[in-house]
């Protein structure tokens, strides 16, 4: 479904990704792991066309989309939940959700809206509230719901539970699992929680200094790999 081949990414003249090669099959749940600052967020931004420059291939369903602008990638089926949530604080919850609809090519708007309200009932209660007046956990639910409103084939989430209160973390983790296992959406997740990565993922990719240094089925994520590449 998604194949990265020798992907390099740049901020200005600085190389932030170096020859990243990774395959994500339809229905996979891939955890992207590593210490802070090793290039995980940069890789997610590269997938969505948000770097200054890239080289190499980003192949989605057999088509190289590396030269496509961000909005075209969204319309091709990539949903993105950025680090920091990225909601529009002056827009209401409903307006934020409907922003996702601009990237949708299907006619499933009403069906998807019902789904996000089922998954995140709080959003239905607060449809007229400005996004900036939500708590951090509520904003993260809104960010995931907005990405779902694009009707994605693949959803990319960058540390969606970072800084969230524990009871909401559990809700968000369950929602991500449901998207993958019940609704068949392919998931690429940047995560620091090794326990959740092992419970949820089918595969992993470990990053170090802008490269993937280990990858494979989640059963191959040994304690030694975690210690070598994630221990502080």
Letter string b/e over residues 166-176, b meaning 16 or more CB atoms within 10 A of that residue's CB? eebbebbbebb
Q: Which of 187, 81, 168, 184 is nearest to 121 (CA)?
A: 168
pLDDT at residue number 196: 94
The span from the CA of 116 to the CA of 60, in Å, is 25
pLDDT at residue number 80: 95
**Share above pLDDT 90 across residues of the chain, in percent, rounded to a whole number:** 91
Query: pLDDT confidence of 77, banded at 50, 70, 90?
Result: very high
Q: Per-residue pLDDT for 143 more than 80?
A: yes
The span from the CA of 230 to the CA of 232, in Å, is 6
Q: Which of 140, 207, 152 is nearest to 180 (CA)?
A: 152
Query: pLDDT confidence of 11, banded at 50, 70, 90?
Result: very high
The span from the CA of 75 to the CA of 103, in Å, is 5
Query: pLDDT confidence of 84, banded at 50, 70, 90?
Result: confident
Instruction: Tell me which residue range forms the domain holding 57.
Output: 2-230
Q: How far is CA 176 from CA 46, 92, 147, 185, in A?
A: 22, 23, 12, 9
pLDDT at residue number 167: 87
Enter the tokens of residue 13.
């003249």
For 30-68, what is each residue's pLDDT tens digit? 999 999 999 999 999 999 999 999 999 999 999 999 999
Q: Is this prediction's pTM over 0.85?
A: yes
Lowest model confidence (mean pLDDT) among 10-14, 24-28, 123-127, 147-151: 10-14
Q: Which of 197, 210, 206, 211 is nearest to 224 (CA)?
A: 206
Tokens 């949530």 map to which residue?
A: 85
Q: What's the CATH code of the domain at 90?
A: 3.40.50.300
Q: How many domains does the chain have?
A: 1
pLDDT at residue number 17: 97
For 121-137, what is each residue's pLDDT tens digit? 999 999 999 999 999 99
Average pLDDT of every residue of the chain: 95
The span from the CA of 90 to the CA of 84, in Å, is 16
Letter string b/e over residues 36-53, b meaning 16 or more CB atoms within 10 A of that residue's CB? eebbbbbbbbbbbbbbee
3-state DSSP call for residue 18? strand
């Amino acid at each position: 479904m998604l194949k990265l081949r020798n992907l390099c990414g740049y901020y200005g003249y600085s190389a932030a990704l170096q020859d990243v090669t990774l395959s994500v099959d339809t229905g996979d749940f891939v955890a992207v792991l590593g210490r802070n600052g090793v290039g995980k967020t940069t890789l997610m931004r590269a997938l969505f066309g948000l770097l200054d420059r890239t080289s190499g291939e980003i192949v989605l369903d057999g088509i190289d989309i590396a030269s496509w602008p961000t909005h075209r990638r969204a319309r091709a089926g990539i949903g993105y939940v950025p680090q920091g949530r990225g909601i529009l604080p002056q827009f209401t919850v409903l307006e934020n959700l409907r922003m996702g609809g601009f990237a949708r090519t299907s006619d499933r708007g009403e069906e998807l809206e019902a789904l996000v309200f089922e998954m995140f009932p709080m959003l239905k209660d607060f449809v007229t509230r400005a996004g900036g007046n939500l708590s951090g956990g509520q904003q993260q639910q809104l960010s995931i719901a907005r990405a779902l409103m694009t009707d994605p084939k693949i959803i990319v989430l960058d540390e969606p539970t970072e800084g969230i209160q524990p009871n909401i973390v559990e809700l968000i983790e369950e929602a991500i699992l449901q998207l993958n296992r019940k609704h068949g959406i392919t998931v690429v997740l940047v995560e620091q929680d090794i326990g959740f990565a092992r419970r949820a993922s089918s595969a992993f990719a470990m990053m170090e200094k802008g490269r993937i240094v280990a990858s494979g089925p989640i059963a191959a994520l040994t304690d030694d790999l975690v210690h070598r590449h994630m221990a502080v």
